[in-house]
Amino acid sequence: MIRILVADASSIARDVVNDGINVHRSKRYIEVDIVNNGLAALEVLKQKQIDLAFIDVNLPGLSGPEVVASIRGTKSDKCLVVAMSNSLDEQAEVSLRRNSAYHFLKKPFHQDDVSNLVATQIKMGTACPILIVDDSATMRKMTCKILEGSRFSFDISEADGAQSAIKAMRSGKFKLVLTDFHMPGADGLELAGSIRDLSSKVGVYMMSTNETSYLQRSAAFVGISGFLQKPFTPEDIDSVMHRFLQIDAPKFGKSRGMFSFDEPEMKAS
């Protein structure tokens, strides 16, 4: 089940959002709360675990940014927040960004814009099978913790080296691999080449503490999707997933330059 909040004083805007949500009702059970002011929106967010919230910036009672700032610590503190307005001033944008809003829809928008965001939320909530490969148990544990902080959901497995990773990959289960570059025996590049022999669709991202530009040619040759420079964050994982799943980048997304070359991303199967 997906729980969605629509908070807007305009009945026209509420109808457009609801039409976009309805596109997905044949495949998912979706519970929708619709309110027309900020106080009512915050009350819903406190009482229920909302997954996706469409919140007008200029709500009466409490403004949209004020509502978003009050979400932390409620049942809905991890919900995907989409702000809506005819325009977005600097103060509102700073507040929304600071309080982890996800995206902004400029009015007037189309129901397809809403439908795409609901589809994004569904993708985020669908656990992606991922394999973490690192000879250090401590680093694997740290990587798991970072993945758990991402907006996306993961079904996480671990391998302590290339040999155990290849054995795991033969199951055909995994869509993503995060592998360390420096490992005893076969390194990350060799592992990536072996993975490519098994599948051309698996996303392979290499983790390294070192500058990676010298690996560009080898990485492109074996089909590595990109690099994650250590230390990385849950926001960096979000950026990887947006690229891998070919989801448009959000207005308030946080990312840094982690890719050392511009190879086209592979579409997840």
CATH of domain 2-124: 3.40.50.2300
Q: What is the pLDDT of residue 58?
A: 97
SS3 content of the chain, % helix, strand, coil (to 5): 40, 20, 40
pTM for this model (two decimals): 0.86
pLDDT tens per residue, range 40-81? 999 999 999 999 999 999 999 999 999 999 998 899 998 999
CB 85 within 8 A of CB 55: no
Mean predicted confidence (pLDDT) in 130-137: 96
Q: CA 100: distance to chain centroid?
A: 12
Residues 210 and 233: their CA atoms lie apart, in Å, by: 16
pLDDT tens per residue, range 141-157? 999 999 999 999 999 99
- What superfamily does domain 126-244 belong to in CATH? Response regulator (3.40.50.2300)
Identical fold between 2-124 and 126-244: yes
Residue 97 clears pLDDT 50, i.e. is over it: yes
Mean predicted confidence (pLDDT) in 83-100: 95
Read off φ and ψ for residue 259, nearest 5 degrees: -100, 125
Contacts of residue 120, Cβ cutoff 8 Å, sequence gap at least 6: 80, 247
CA-CA distances (angstroms) from residue 198 to 2, 61, 167, 215, 227? 35, 57, 11, 22, 20
